[in-house]
Structure 1
Amino acid sequence: MDKESGLIQRKPRVLYSSDDDESYYSDDSADEDQGPKQKLLVLPLGGFLCARVYKKSKTKVRIPRNRQPDGDFEKFYVYKRPYCEDFVKFCLERFEVGIWSSASGWNTEETLECVIGGLENKLLFTWDQRKCTGPMYQSFLENKNKTLFLKDLSTLLVFLRIDGIDYKPSEALLIETDPYKSFLNPPDTSIFLDEYSVKNVSDDKLGPDGKLRKYLDNLSKAEDVPSFVKANPFGNPAITSSHPHWSSCSEMIRIYGD
């Protein structure tokens, strides 16, 4: 990723094999021998692969006494979620994987290196706050001063296309912990999961026996993403017209949507 612009780097496609920790590279001429194109999986970072605790708020967050941070940065600590690296490897075997964080660039870069290390160069892209839509302040948020950043799937697909990678919305899944961030996206192109808490040291939702892995494995074999997601609800519900904040959400769609 270009550190200044946040754009996707043009680079050889990295192919990942579960039988070998080494990656190897391929040019476009070999694509026709690789079988059907893998679907695109977009993962969040903080709250999903790890928990970030800002040092100013550490006294307000109950952290188990025997838990030490995996990363200690200028303004925050990083606590890796159990199985996070193995989960990313699992995803790389079945999808083209990108990371899209709503955190700032320096925050995302340091956190990602801490959480998945050498797997970073196997990702299709890494995006941060600069490619989100926003920021916006919304009165319905629990924290009135919190800025809301939206992740517009159409923006991502346009930039991928510029980089020579063509995906349709029906071929992409966005995983999020906050349904608000997916306001602008087509129905059934996202699933919403509970945010990971630093207090949950025994969390196994990313583990080999977790329901999420089975769900994603089945999705990777499905005809398209929306049909599968609609037929197989998973996690927390999306925001629909029955939601108490739907009018505010609709206004954001009117302003920022097509």
Structure 2
Amino acid sequence: MNKILLILDLDETLIHASKVLIHDNYDFKVFHYYVYKRPFLDEFIKTCSENFQLAIWSSASDDYVIEIVKNIIPHHIPLAFVWGRSRCTPIISPQIDEYGYYNLDVTSHYEYAKKLFKVKRKGYDLKRVLIVDDTPAKVANNYGNAIYSKEFKGEKDDKELTILSKYLLYLKDEQSVRTIEKRNWRRQIEN
């Protein structure tokens, strides 16, 4: 049986990037951002690469995504794909100003969705695809495939990836991940 495809988000899931120095222990710089790897990231990537087929999909700019991946994924670990914003679908979220009028500047209030039909077009069976993201709105149409991680903002004592790794190992041999309730996944591991 083929390994499950595990699609990982970058910002606030695996790393945190900031134009402002949060603390002196940043891991690397990309463009004008200080980048902090989430604690236990290296171990998480190693474990996941041994048990899943890995891919990266971020709503950040494509050039930024490539630079981040170069710094966090070892060269010997194959990735099914590395996608950035150009593979996302823009979604306009109407916003109302303080006077009750719609803000007509659509560029100020749109988000990017990660629609898994694009992955299906590449030949993947969605029953064997998981996507990890800290922003539920980006994968709302794919809730049966989604695992929502806590947002990472550079905290040194974060343990989310160790907990997530245990949960993913629990799912790795499932025939269909879509039928498994994942909304309260953390409780299943912590109990």
**The two structures share one fold, judged by TM-score above 0.5:** yes
| 1:205 has 2:160 as partner | yes
What is aligned with 1:73?
A: 30
* Corresponding residue number in structure 2 for 1:216: 168
Contact 2:149 2:160 in 1 (8 A): no
Alpha-carbon deviation of 1:104? 0.4
Q: Whole-Å Cα distance in 1 between the matches of residues 34 and 40 of structure 2?
A: 18
Give the paired residue count: 177
Q: Return the match for 1:51 from 16, 19, 27.
A: 16
2: CA distance between counterparts of 1:196 and 1:232? 18
Greater gyration radius? 1
Alignment partners' CA distance in 2, 1:171 and 1:219: 10
1: CA distance, partners of 2:32 / 2:112? 21
RMSD: 2.3
Alpha-carbon spacing, 1:43–1:231, altered in 2? closer, same or farther (3 Å): closer
Q: CA deviation at 1:184?
A: 2.6
For residue 136 of structure 1, report the CA deviation from its aligned partner. 3.0
Measured in 2, the distance between the counterparts of 1:103 and 1:136 equals 17
Matched residue type, 1:197 = K
Q: Distance in 1 between matches of 2:182 and 2:156?
A: 32
Q: Does the Cα contact within 8 Å between 2:147 and 2:182 map onto a contact in 1?
A: no
**1:106 maps to 2:63:** yes
Give the secondary-structure state (helix, strand or coil) at the position aligned to 2:132. strand
Partner of 1:148: 111
Match of 2:144 among 188, 197, 205: 188
Higher relative contact order (CA 8 A, sep 6+): 2
Structure 2 unmatched runs, 5+: 97-106
> Per-residue deviation at 1:174?
0.9
Q: Deviations over 1:147-198 (max 9, x none)?
A: 400000011221x22xxxxx2111111111001001232x421111111111
Return the alpha-carbon distance in structure 1 between the equivalents of residues 9 and 183 of structure 2: 21
The one-letter code matched in structure 2 to 1:126 is V
Is 1:40 aligned to residue 40 of structure 2? no
**Which residue of 2 is the match for residue 225 of structure 1?**
177
Give distance in 2, aligned partners of 1:178 and 1:219.
21
CA contact (8 A) 2:26 2:34 kept: yes
- Find the residue that maps to 1:213 and give its secondary structure: helix
SS of equivalent residue, structure 2 residue 72: helix
